[in-house]
Chains A and B, each alone.
Chain A
């Protein structure tokens, strides 16, 4: 029995199963693994005795591609990693390259970047909320969430022409000036949005079934979370007050007041509450930013051909899913020597086994949902 408790593929494959044990393959084609994640579960009855995530079904070699593209050419590729939060990905990459260049985007660009990134955070969390609720069996929130997300995507579309893979920012600032009525639309959205969140919470937060399905499920304590390198809402729900927007402010975050919500128990419910609160905070940031957008240039003077000095840089931002870091090595040419992405979903997925052991099959779904992974980012 002790043998079977170890967690590795070989063990799961070769162990002689007891009378009540079966191996269940969830995915890669499964409604609730959010794409092409394959989870191999060893079940004791309906209880998870061991689990293993098998990834790589969506691997496209993004990091390798970067070595053969110039710095500007690679920028659209990062949008394809976390495709539900493309704007955030772009921000991280652009700022990393700017750091490598030693340049800085003008103030107006930075504020607009902040607004768009925060809207993107709301949109990403809305996708998470809808699908998570759907996984747990609540059908309706999905449609409400997508209704609001639609509003955000419309703003993106008006701003840069694309809805999903926006490529909204450029290295050194912005390509486009904001369109007429941008402020009003963002403001109207933000004002409506607080009512919408109340609506979701009415459906879920105090629902007995929802509480039963999320409270005490997939507990991850702070020490484990830190040891596993988990970041983002998952980390904060475990009670660690860590947010790069506060810890190492980028864009224009140092100008705005906002709170970092943290959880207590590190369970699925806390992660839910933390993300809901983050949406509210994002809305507040947007409202603060939209009141006072500086005028001026939107693009720094950096030249058409980028040749950063040889060296290396690591720059991380707080993407909706956690710490999104770019590690770029320059050899002085127009193409990066090496780009390494620290994707939050990939790292957060490490905590899956920790959370899933001893829980039931139904909880596995809730746990996958609550980590909020995007397979494009996990596999890259």
Chain B
């Protein structure tokens, strides 16, 4: 063959390129629909309807938003550093998308199964800081700069906690490969969230902080810093930041799902028992049922639509769900296709569940203050993560060297971690030392103040 390309090379290089293209093409759409989901969920939590106009139940809202964003004027502030102002959002979104290279969407859908997959994702997502810092700096605005500095400090701090939490997962899995981690959970017959709940918990918090989501959304806290590092951005470049944020959310969810929630495995996949006389394997029917159910529900909604065009769009979605449901059902018949397609389904479902957690926190909690955020990171999460790491290590040694049952060892380890967690919380509740400045640092009274 010309250029020395052979069939193996096609499998090795071409297929990943196609996956990559699909991801790059589909991700913005996915991000858009996650935004729609967020708005709908938020609206329903807040006793209102959310977007209802563009498309039936706002189903076409993401597309309208995207069009609006792309058509907006792209402003570069006068004294901004043009090169960096251009580069920063690009960097941000590139790094977010690059991380997908090692994320396994299913046993079959992975661009590259790197030996150091998890570390690779961590490394790449740590580069996302530059997008934020440089963008904030280049904007030549105090809000942006403050937001950028906060963001950098926050990301660096919480990356430590997240990394430590992930390491305990790695200890259990014994590999750095993302695929290998899922397979480890498969072979051990338990998702790591059940043996290392604290790791999951720490990673959950740290991942929210790392993606700058509420209640850790200080870098873009709209009530304080307007929009933080994005204050001066508009139009396309702003939407790149936006895309990067949602892409990052999916990445961190993907890591959590892979490491703690069994990746692409179906729930109870290791169990072959029966309940009510039915085998658990019947759960394989669930994806198809869900899609058909969605199709039915959408049909019901479609029939209620007043306008013809809305009805048509809704039926479009009905069609989409029917096709997906059919694909799910059909793949059940093929042993070669079924793991891939169903794996992708379960992976995405788990990612959505994790993301739902993100949204839920956002609508429920007030925002942390910066010093409190740092305190939480350094004085609670990192010590706890360290203790947890040591305890998990001890648990593994107990299980492997002293032949304790894994469950017993892990319960013991986690109980110790729990005690430490309680202790740390109590420490944190004691009067803080850092909140108020020392007497000599306090500004003196102004002239208008009455003594």
Contacts and interface: CB of A to CB of B under 8 A. Distances in A.
B31 interface: no
A49 B214 contact: no
A352 to B, nearest CB: 12
Contacts of A360: 369-371
B79 interface: no
B366 A136 contact: yes
A198 to B, nearest CB: 16
A7 B223 contact: no
Contacts of B214: 137, 139
B444 interface: yes
Contacts of A305: none
B306 interface: no
B269 interface: no
A212 B447 CA distance: 31
Given A31-B222, A136-B223, A227-B450, A216 B369 contact: no
Contacts of A142: 46
B142 A216 contact: no
B86 to A, nearest CB: 25
Counting chain A CB atoms within 10 Å of each CB, which of B42, B142, B369, B441 scores highest?
A: B369
Nearest to A42: B443
B447 A46 contact: no
A357 B443 contact: yes
A374 interface: no
B307 interface: no
Interface string B124-167: 00000000000000000011001000000000000000000000
B368 A209 contact: yes
Interface in B404-451: 435-437, 441-444, 446-450
B443 A5 contact: yes
A139 B46 contact: yes
Contacts of A31: 222-223, 226
A210 interface: yes
B366 A357 contact: no
Nearest to B45: A140
Interface string A47-84: 10110000000000000000000000000000000000
Contacts of B442: 357-358
B224 interface: yes
A22 B435 contact: no
Given A207-B365, A207-B366, A360-B370, A32 B224 contact: yes
B213 to A, nearest CB: 11
A203 to B, nearest CB: 7
Interface in A26-41: 30-32
A370 B367 CA distance: 16
Contacts of A49: 443
Given A139-B42, A143-B48, A358-B436, A5 B444 contact: yes
A31 to B, nearest CB: 5
A325 B140 CA distance: 45
B47 interface: yes
B46 A363 contact: no
B224 A362 contact: yes
Contacts of A47: 437
Contacts of A50: 443, 446
Interface string B212-251: 0011011001111110000000000000000000000000
B406 to A, nearest CB: 34
A365 B444 contact: no
B364 interface: yes
Contact of B372 (A144, A213, A227, A228): A213
B362 interface: yes
B436 A216 contact: yes
B109 interface: no
B443 A358 contact: yes
Contacts, number: 121
A358 B364 CA distance: 29
A6 B448 CA distance: 10
B378 interface: no
Interface residues of B, number: 41
A361 B146 contact: yes
Contacts of A364: 224
A147 B366 CA distance: 20
Nearest to A131: B223
B367 A353 contact: no
A138 B368 CA distance: 10
B317 interface: no
Contact of A209 (B215, B217, B225, B226): B215
A22 B146 CA distance: 10
Interface string B356-385: 000000111111111110000000000000
A180 to B, nearest CB: 29
Contacts of A2: 444
Nearest to B227: A31
B342 to A, nearest CB: 36
Given A143-B47, A361-B224, A137 B366 contact: yes
Contacts of A323: none
Nearest to B43: A143
A345 B50 CA distance: 34
A133 B447 CA distance: 33
Contacts of B441: 358
A293 B443 CA distance: 55
A97 B216 CA distance: 52
A9 to B, nearest CB: 11
A47 B434 CA distance: 12
Contacts of B225: 361
Contacts of B48: 143
Contacts of B437: 47, 358
B287 to A, nearest CB: 32
A347 interface: no
B446 A6 contact: yes
Interface string B38-58: 000010011110000000000
A260 B224 CA distance: 33
B159 to A, nearest CB: 21
A162 interface: no
B449 A137 contact: no
Contact of A6 (B47, B372, B447): B447
A354 interface: yes
Interface string A313-325: 0000000000000
A350 to B, nearest CB: 8
A134 interface: yes
B142 A22 contact: yes
A293 to B, nearest CB: 32
A228 B448 CA distance: 10
Interface in A138-157: 138-140, 142-144, 147
18 contacts: A6-B444, A7-B448, A24-B146, A31-B222, A46-B146, A46-B371, A136-B366, A137-B215, A137-B221, A140-B364, A143-B47, A143-B48, A207-B366, A209-B372, A213-B372, A357-B443, A362-B221, A362-B224
Given A210-B366, A354-B449, 12 more contacts: A5-B443, A6-B446, A23-B142, A24-B142, A49-B443, A137-B221, A139-B46, A139-B214, A203-B364, A216-B436, A361-B224, A361-B370
Closest 8 CB pairs of A and B: A137-B367, A7-B446, A143-B46, A32-B223, A138-B366, A227-B450, A135-B223, A362-B369
Interface of A: 2, 5-8, 22-25, 30-32, 46-47, 49-50, 133-140, 142-144, 147, 203-204, 207, 209-210, 212-213, 216, 224, 227-228, 353-354, 357-358, 360-365
